[in-house]
Amino acid sequence: MTIDSAALDHDLALRLRVEDFYAEYSHTIDDDRLEDWPGLFTENGTYRVTTRENFDSGLPLALIYCDGRGMMEDRISALRTANIYEPHVYCHLTSALRVLGASGGEIRARANFTVLRTMPEGDTTIFACGRYFDRLIEEDGRLKLRERLAVLDSRQVDTLLVVPI
């Protein structure tokens, strides 16, 4: 198989950077460094979590809808200071990452994700699985999410959703 080395380098570099970004996104949440999570988005970035049930029916409702970093920061402050819930941790697994294209400095990517949630008593369950649909751009040398849409396969949320997916 012959390959255009320059194009290859570029594709590889892009893939590498996007993969690293996804890994960093996972570790930021799974390490409970949630104060750093809004910084993975652009100032006006949007973050939505919805279900296949709503998504496939074209229903606009989301479980979480953050329109800009401010709302993301409010969510994090709220879960640190105001909300009551049983402490728990996530383990993110992402797979089937595809960089769908890059144009005008914007990168479109998607991946499958699974979030395993572990409770203090010790039970680990599949809290969520589904698909990320993302638009990323580069800002001062780092990739940031202009948009992340997480579509959960299940209609259901067990107990509550407080930590971002």
Partner 1 sequence: MAMATASTRAAGFTWPNNDLSRAPYRVYTDPDLYALERERIFQGPTWNFLALECELPNPGDYKATYVGDAPVIVARARDGSISAMVNRCAHKGALVCYKRRGNVREFICVYHNWTYDLAGNLTGVAFKRGVAGKGGLAADFQPERHGLEKLRVETCRGLIFGTFSDDTPPFVAYIGAELAANIDRVFPKPLKVLGYHSQILPNNWKLYAENNKDSYHASLLHVFHNTFGVVRPNMGGGVKISNSGWHHLSYTQRVSLGDDEVAREKVRSLQEQYRLKDPRMMEHRLELGDNITNAIQTVFPSLVVQQILNALAVRQIQPKGVDRTELVWTVLGFEDDDEAMKELRLKVNNLVGPAGLISMEDGCVGGWVQRAAKANPDATTVMPMGGRNVEASEGSRITEAAVRGFWKGWRECMGF
Residues that bind a second copy (CB under 8 A): 1, 3, 5, 8-17, 20, 22-24, 26-27, 30, 52, 89, 91-98, 110, 112, 114, 116, 118, 120-126, 129-131, 138, 153-156
Q: Out of 85, 98, 126, 138, point to the residue binding partner 1 (CB under 8 A).
A: 85
Using the contact rule CB under 8 A, the part of the chain among 4-12, 16-24, 82-90, 129-137 near partner 1 is 82-90
Determine the Cα–Cα distance for residues 69 and 139; give it in Å rounded to an integer. Answer: 15
Determine the Cα–Cα distance for residues 32 and 163; give it in Å rounded to an integer. Answer: 9
68 binds partner 1 (CB under 8 A): yes
**Binding site partner of 112, from a second copy, partner 1, none, Cβ cut-off 5-8 A by kind:** a second copy
Strand partners, 53: none
Q: Is 62 exposed, middle or buried (0-12, 13-18, 19+ CB in 10 A)?
A: middle
**Binding site partner of 35, from partner 1, a second copy, none, Cβ cut-off 5-8 A by kind:** none
Name the residue nearer to a second copy (CB basis): 62 or 131: 131
Determine the Cα–Cα distance for residues 22 and 116; give it in Å rounded to an integer. Answer: 16
Name the residue nearer to a second copy (CB basis): 12 or 78: 12
Q: How many residues bind partner 1 (CB under 8 A)?
A: 40
Residue 155: which residues within 8 A CB-CB, separation 6 or more? 51, 52, 53
Tokens describing residue 164: 């971002």
Q: Out of 12, 43, 65, 98, point to the residue binding partner 1 (CB under 8 A).
A: 65
- Sole residue written with tokens 């879960």: 79
